[in-house]
A and B are shown apart, each in its own frame.
Chain A
């Protein structure tokens, strides 16, 4: 916060090798101050490596890290404006909750009376009033993570790093903790960087999401952007429930492109990247945008419609997934709200048509 103009985090061509294994290829991106930022990706994709590099727990093999404009690439963790919340088992098991939270302040030689105040305020912030004298093993997993959060926040550093903080919690608790984390971040106003492999978690907490896979930054954008308008095929396959179909570009116009997928030519809006005729490409369409209708029904103007054969429906609680098979054998999924009247209209084997709003499909090159 010393230099509000500077980005909270700026990473330039950052790379990390473990011997011959490359965990992170040259990654560059930046995070604005005060954001809740999620690093999302599959396990082993390099997102934790990236977080640990930012926190100073790993030495970069290449590139630089700037935090609030200062080059911290070779500073130890305690001399960076960051603090880390670990996955699990990171509380001092022999100290009470209070001593765990106070320990960092004690090292900084903060006066004892101040320590008491700040610890109590932090415990109140994370919802653990009255837990001062508990030992870590007397706490549930969620409570232990709250204590870790308090221990990091009490240091009043500018950037909080969270390494899969909710991975060991059950689904319900994870959901609650997500909202809690978001509330706390809004209250303290510092930058949070949250690593997770769980897309729902990332979408819940984050203002912005970076997709990290195979040691590379695949795509970066607001939570809504990466969900609704993914640019990369990987993003479309990783986030949400997208149908991805491959084909060859047969025509390119000012507003869009035409993709030949064998049994049909599909109109797709123009992608960010420039494409040329004859190129292999794919397009994605989210399953909740698909509609299934009878062969001769009119689905709607400006809808792209292809013939299909109905396969089956799968009840998922909130939604029902309808599986249909396209003429070339690929299966696509249409998701419909369970209480909608569109369910139960077709029997397996029925000839149907499946359609989607033409302007909602996303074209992905390679």
Chain B
């Protein structure tokens, strides 16, 4: 202790600087960056690169060709892709119409202590395999399914409706059933950040229900609604399971188109479709940014 006190401490060895007490703390913060590059940026970049590779019989080889894109845009795939976007958009709109009022209800009408428990209930479906969940829609929506039998028993229908299964409508219903909770979670979280005082001020000013919704609730929840919408849109376009099980012959979404390309061992085509999906979503985010100014809605509330 005594003679060490007089010495100027030697600079720590390089490895010590990296993994020493400070070093470890410093590097911990880079783990997300590494993770992001390894599992997100790199695969995306490879997807784009591979989409212009030459197709071989079982894999692909380096090269540059836009054949996969040409193949995509000149076949029925492009049309199916656009349809898939429309179906996804429909699922988003329906999820908003059903899910957002649920979020508002939970925030406004359920007592504070119970709110999170009620929200947790909407996580329960995710504990069942998605395959099972989507498959279970068949006996519900089918010709002799629950919906049709009940409506026919009640005398509301004389013939079963067949348009709700093995059809585009079936796919949209399946998407809504699968991804609705995302709208509830995101909407609720956005509303949770709104102070109770805001609602009391509205009571004081005499804001009617319609104005309260249009002027206050909707704009304040916009970031959450947008986040939930992106989630639902992406999943509706990308999860191949839903059209496979509920769509019937010929029904596809973007994910299923890519799947089919992989099954056909046309990897550049699958990569091209994925690349187009990436750019579609980036474009949507950009449009959303221009419309809502995402930086602004992500600013702290109050």
Indicate whether A57 sits within 8 Å of B300 (C-beta atoms), given known contacts A90-B195, A93-B220, A107-B207: no
Stretch at the interface among B75-83, B123-131, B197-205: B197-205
Q: Is B219 an interface residue (CB 8 A)?
A: yes
Taking the closest CB of chain B, its distance from the CB of A217, in whole angstroms, is 24
Q: Are B198 and A78 closer than 8 Å at their CB atoms?
A: no
Closest to B206 in A: A78
B16 on the A face (CB < 8 A):
no
- B220: which of A79, A94, A103 is its contact (CB, 8 Å)? A94
User: What residues on B are CB-neighbors of A155 within 8 Å?
Assistant: 205
Alpha-carbon separation in the docked complex, A79 to B203 (Å)? 10
| A336 at interface, CB cutoff 8 A | no
Interface contact A107-B302, CB-CB below 8 Å:
no
Task: Flag B220-260 by CB within 8 Å of A: 1 or 0 each.
Answer: 10000000000000000000000000000000000000000
Given the interface contacts A91-B302, A94-B219, A137-B300, does A76 sit within 8 Å of B203 by beta carbon? yes
In the complex, what residues of B have CB within 8 A of residue A152's CB?
204
Please tell me if B121 contacts chain A, counting CB pairs below 8 Å: no
Contacts of A230 in B (CB 8 A): none
Residues of B within 8 A of A107 (CB): 205-208, 211
Q: What is the number of residues of chain A that contact chain B, defined by CB distance less than 8 Å?
A: 29
User: In this assembly, does A142 line the interface, its C-beta being within 8 Å of a C-beta of chain B?
Assistant: no
Q: In the complex, are the beta carbons of B302 and A84 less than 8 A apart?
A: no
- The residue of chain B having its C-beta at the shortest distance from the C-beta of A94 within the complex is B219
CB within 8 Å for A57 and B211 given contacts A89-B195, A89-B302: no
| A41 adjacent to chain B (CB < 8 Å) | no
Contact with A88, one of B197, B205, B216, B300 (Cβ below 8 angstroms): B197
Bound: A144/B195 CA distance, A: 15
Per the bound structure, the CA–CA distance linking A94 and B205 in Å amounts to: 17
Distance of B114 from chain A, by nearest CB (Å): 15
Interface residues of A in 70-117 (CB under 8 A from B): 76-79, 82-84, 86-94, 103-104, 107-108
Interface: A136 (CB within 8 A): yes
Q: Does A60 contact B (CB under 8 A)?
A: no
- A55 sits at the interface (CB 8 A): yes
Residue B299 CB within 8 A of the other chain: yes
Q: Which of B204, B215, B300, B301 contacts A78 (CB 8 A)?
A: B204
Chain A positions within 8 Å of B211 at CB level: 107
Given that A137-B299, A137-B300 are contacting pairs, would A55 and B198 also be in contact in the complex, using a CB cutoff of 8 Å?
no
Q: How far is the CB of B107 from chain A (nearest CB, A)?
A: 16
A280 to chain B, nearest CB (A): 43
Once bound together, how far apart are the Cα atoms of A56 and B205, in whole Å? 12
Question: Known: A57-B203, A94-B219, A107-B207. Contact between A89 and B299, CB under 8 A?
Answer: no
Known: A77-B206, A86-B197. 12 other contacts (CB 8 A): A57-B200, A78-B203, A84-B201, A84-B204, A89-B302, A90-B197, A92-B216, A93-B302, A136-B302, A137-B299, A137-B300, A137-B301
- Residue contacts A-B, CB under 8 angstroms, 23 given: A55-B204, A56-B203, A57-B203, A76-B203, A76-B206, A77-B206, A78-B203, A78-B206, A83-B204, A84-B200, A84-B201, A84-B204, A88-B197, A89-B195, A90-B197, A90-B198, A90-B200, A92-B198, A104-B205, A107-B205, A107-B211, A137-B299, A137-B301
Interface residues of B (CB under 8 A from A): 195, 197-198, 200-201, 203-208, 211, 215-216, 219-220, 299-302
